[in-house]
Amino acid sequence: MVKRSKCKKLGALLLTAALTLSVFLPSTVSAAAKESESRQNDYPIVLCHGCNGWGRDEAFGRLAFNTKYYWGGNVDFQEELNDRGFTTYTAAVGPLSSNWDRACELYAEIKGGTVDYGEAHAKRYGHARFGRTYKGFVKDWGAEDEDGNINKIHLIGHSQGGQTVRLLSALLGEGSEEERAASGEKVSPLFEGGHSWIDSVTTLASPHDGTTLADVKGTNKFAAILLSAAGSTLGNFQNSAEIYDIKLDQFGLKRKSGESLKSFLDRVFKSSMWTNSKDNCAYDLGTDGAVVQNQWVTAQPDTYYFSWGCLGTKKALLSLDGHQVADPLIMGDKKLYNAQWAAQAAFMGSYHRKDYSREIPVIDEKWWPNDGYVNTISESGPHYGSTDVIEDYNGTPEIGQWNFMGTKHIDHEDIIGRNWDGALDFFVETATMLSQLPK
């Protein structure tokens, strides 16, 4: 009994010493060590932008919005994450294209090779089957390592980018029966199915059920006016791709020699891709198009799914119906674009309908809270037309279903680093969480 008592006293002294020592150790060292030890995978992260987004080498953001990087504003989130040991790449897909076309481009950018939009899809929408050729971010993506494990990636998509990465994950997992039938032995690996190459999908302020902002007739014309005005402001540059690369080669939409950017953008919005087609961003972002995608784009059983919502509105003081308007403390930092954001927020904050011919027939007060571009209710995951399971995150990631991480009181742009001081920490925390997912 005496010996056991002495052992207990000695153990208590050692425990006290250890706890005391930990207090005086620099917190950054212990945190870094803890993070390093907790990493379970080193899969690369690929960032996919939303509608009207731009690449890291394009000057559009700086000239039009005084924001150099899509991801980070004037701080390069890609390199910030790389510096912290998280291998990260920034994709640049068609800013006005459909989710299908964007997913095909994203696949080629990551894997390397020529974009294949699919024989059946290309014929249906009247554009070329093949697009640009890319070197590839992760050329061994999908291959087995020396231990027999598949080299996977983490995908993070903002806004429409969330719809795009979901679609890519479904195509890799399930393929396309239509494309396999149309192409036979020449079918792209993207459409084969059976590829468990994506470890996680994270969506930020994404319109999984669409945004009512895109449901309004004339949305395309409004977008055309804005982009044409931007093109006019940017002037007549020799190389438009260095300013804003539209990436609509498949529709034959390339800037002519000596053509001004404004003239080129005007021509883009007069294209048949808008007037006679559903193969564009406007359709996919609307509630009808989003539900059609939800009906076949399902969560894969071997992939983790995370979603974040944003809220930048509040109830209007003078509204008896509880309409929502932009919260000036959140959205009042857009300078020249303040009026535009306020108008968008107010429209979504009061829009309602009862039309049983629509995919989502009833739009009511549940849809009014928004982040300036997307209805907050749409951002947790696909509800309409979908069989996916969506659960509030409880601290333990569940695979094969949506882990809804919560709603942040910030606007649609804040979450990717524009005018929110906490954005970089948020991305580091997200990358850390993804690295802790088991292989």
pLDDT in tens, 115-146: 999 999 999 999 999 999 999 999 999 999 98
User: Tell me, what's the pLDDT at 70?
Assistant: 97
Selected catalytic residue, list 76, 101, 158, 159: 159
pLDDT over 90 (residue 255): no
Collapsed DSSP state (helix, strand, coil) of residue 390: strand
Measured CA to CA, the distance from residue 86 to residue 233 in angstroms comes to 37
- Catalytic residue flag (residue 83): no
> Is residue 65 very low, low, confident or very high in pLDDT (cuts 50, 70, 90)?
confident
Give the pLDDT mean for 182-188. 93
pLDDT over 60 (residue 148): yes
pLDDT over 60 (residue 435): yes
Side-chain half-sphere of 65: how many Cα atoms within 13 Å?
24
> Is residue 224 very low, low, confident or very high in pLDDT (cuts 50, 70, 90)?
very low
Residue ranges per domain, the chain?
Answer: 41-435
User: Tell me, what's the pLDDT at 257?
Assistant: 79
* Torsion angles phi and psi, residue 409, rounded to 5: -85, 70
pLDDT tens string 38-62: 899 999 999 999 999 999 999 889 8
Q: Is the dihedral of CA 96, 98, 99, 102 positive or negative?
A: negative
User: Tell me, what's the pLDDT at 60?
Assistant: 87
Selected catalytic residue, list 371, 388, 411, 414: 371
237 CB burial (10 A radius; 0-12, 13-18, 19+): middle
CATH architecture designation of domain 41-435: 3-Layer(aba) Sandwich (3.40)
Whole-prediction pTM value?
A: 0.88
pLDDT over 90 (residue 198): yes
- Catalytic residue flag (residue 260): no
Name the pairing type of β-strands 198-204 and 153-158: parallel
pLDDT over 50 (residue 372): yes
Joined together, the tokens standing for residue 27 give 């917190």
135 vs 230: which has the higher pLDDT: 135
Tell me if 395 sits within 8 A of 298, measured CB to CB.
no
Give the pLDDT mean for 104-113. 98
> Is residue 241 very low, low, confident or very high in pLDDT (cuts 50, 70, 90)?
low
User: Tell me, what's the pLDDT at 34?
Assistant: 54
User: Tell me, what's the pLDDT at 19?
Assistant: 33
Selected catalytic residue, list 215, 412, 414, 435: 412
User: Tell me, what's the pLDDT at 218?
Assistant: 59
> Is residue 319 very low, low, confident or very high in pLDDT (cuts 50, 70, 90)?
confident
Measured CA to CA, the distance from residue 328 to residue 152 in angstroms comes to 42
DSSP β-bridge partners for residue 306: 202, 403
The lowest-confidence range among 67-81, 175-189, 238-252 is 238-252
Name the pairing type of β-strands 362-363 and 353-354: antiparallel
Tell me if 362 sits within 8 A of 272, measured CB to CB.
no
Q: Of the candidates 197, 184, 192, 215, which has an alpha carbon nearest to the alpha carbon of residue 155?
A: 197
pLDDT tens string 25-38: 344 334 444 555 68
Chain mean pLDDT for the chain:
88
Side-by-side strand order, sheet with 88-90: 88-90, 45-48, 153-158, 198-204, 304-310, 402-408, 390-392
- Catalytic residue flag (residue 159): yes
The lowest-confidence range among 28-37, 146-155, 313-322, 331-340 is 28-37
